[in-house]
Structure 1
Amino acid sequence: MKVMEVQKSDEKLAKMAKILKAVANHNRLRIVQLLLKTGEMTVNEICEELENCEQSLLSHHLAALKEAAVLSSRREGRKIYYSSAKKEIENLMNCIENCCK
């Protein structure tokens, strides 16, 4: 196992904290898990999969995850498709899940 450097640059630590803060929400974790499973979905498709979904709140969660570079999006006509931004996000989710065993 690779040991992380004890001292990281403030910029790197800020980016790490931003990602953790973005996923530190039950609904956002569900969104990330769903997109890792399916690959890519529109807002409406995500809303259909999630229980008690309010589209305005979902859009807020998606924006926060995108701003933290957890998710990426692409536009096709009037639809916006969301997906995981990086392969490492799946590793992060697996790590968090393993911590909960």
Structure 2
Amino acid sequence: MHSKLRNELIELGPADPTCDQFSDGLPYLDAVVHETLRIHAPVREATRIADEDDVIPLSEPVRTKSGQLVENLSIAKGTVLSIPLLLSISQQ
């Protein structure tokens, strides 16, 4: 993996890269940076406030403690939502 990034940067040459080269000419570097930020997020979470009532479907139904099967979440206008951005990776 490191060799792909190294080769891409070597092909760039010794001169400082331009903004166009960073945005268009270095796809592997772009992928490495995005993956690094995905795994090591610069912020732990984002907070949002629902500006209208909404219903969020779940990818799989969840059974509550009372035994009820829930297939979606109802979010009321004004609800504060905390969205975790930090990826937790378990050590194996």
For the aligned pair, the TM-score class normalised by the smaller chain equals under 0.3
TM-score, structure 1 as length reference: 0.24
TM-score, structure 2 as length reference: 0.26
Instruction: Looking at secondary structure, tell me which structure has more strand per residue.
Output: 2
Which one has a bigger Cα radius of gyration?
2
Instruction: Looking at secondary structure, tell me which structure has more helix per residue.
Output: 1
